[in-house]
A and B are shown apart, each in its own frame.
Chain A
């Protein structure tokens, strides 16, 4: 099956800093989603981005499908951004394969 690798595994930032999270995948995909898992375990949809670039406030994402990677940018980070960020892909079987996540801690 498809392999999904996320980097870095852990990230510690000062409030106000910017960061880039990366997701590499081993095969072509129909669907790619970024999620934020909050401290209560809820998976919150950030982006649905099989290709191209999208922006939502301080967050933006870019997927280069031909090169099999996606990037999530967080600007002016806040303590509420803390949590685990997951990338998940659908290679055509309708189900999502998740990476292991990036654990982000934003300190005040």
Chain B
């Protein structure tokens, strides 16, 4: 596609429910990144993929968070048993490859609200 797309744009859920957030990177980009933006923590890295592999999961805040990428394209971020502190905007980015001199481009984000 022309840019990174994310769905849904907004998600409201009840505490304890599971949610799935989707990211579709720029066509041809092999690296995909998840970040989140919250008032208290600013913009923080969660996980990235090179192809279907996730070399760095160090930013995932707890084992309730997981992500996968299949076919080297679309990625899904899953949050299980959501908590109120999970409320944030979840941003996805992509780049041609990971590392080196590669510019990252961001999607519009998914605003998650946990009631």
Contact present for A94 and B56 (CB under 8 Å):
yes
Chain A, residues 68-108, CB within 8 Å of chain B (1/0): the string is: 00000000000000000010101011111110110000000
A43 at the binding interface (Cβ < 8 Å): yes
CA distance A86 to B56 in the complex (A): 23
By secondary structure, the B interface counts as strand
Q: Is the CB of B59 within 8 A of A43?
A: no
Find out whether the CB atom of A41 lies under 8 angstroms from the CB atom of B59. no
A100–B91 contact, CB under 8 A?
A: no
- Kindly count the residue-residue contacts between A and B in the assembled complex, taking CB atoms under 8 Å apart: 55
Q: Which of B43, B44, B98, B102 has the most CB of A within 10 A?
A: B43
Residues of A near B103 (CB, < 8 A) are 31, 33, 45, 48
List the B side residues contacting A92 at CB < 8 Å.
99
B42 part of interface (Cβ distance < 8 Å): yes
Q: Is B33 an interface residue (CB 8 A)?
A: yes
| Interface pair A98/B42, CB less than 8 Å apart | yes
Interface residues contributed by chain B, number (CB under 8 Å): 28
Question: Is B48 within 8 A of A94, CB to CB?
Answer: yes
Q: B55 — which chain A residues lie within 8 A by C-beta? A: 94
**A-facing mask of B28-55, CB < 8 A → 1, else 0?**
0001010101000011110010100001
Asked if residues A30 and B100 are in contact (CB atoms below 8 Å), the reply is: yes
Q: Provide the bound-state CA to CA distance between A48 and B96, in Å.
A: 14
Interface: A56 (CB within 8 A): no
B106 touching A43, Cβ below 8 Å:
yes
What is the interface of chain B, defined by CB distance below 8 A to chain A? 31, 33, 35, 37, 42-45, 48, 50, 55-56, 59, 89, 91, 93, 98-106, 108-109, 111
Residues of A within 8 A of B (CB): 30-31, 33, 35, 40-43, 45, 48, 50, 86, 88, 90, 92-98, 100-101
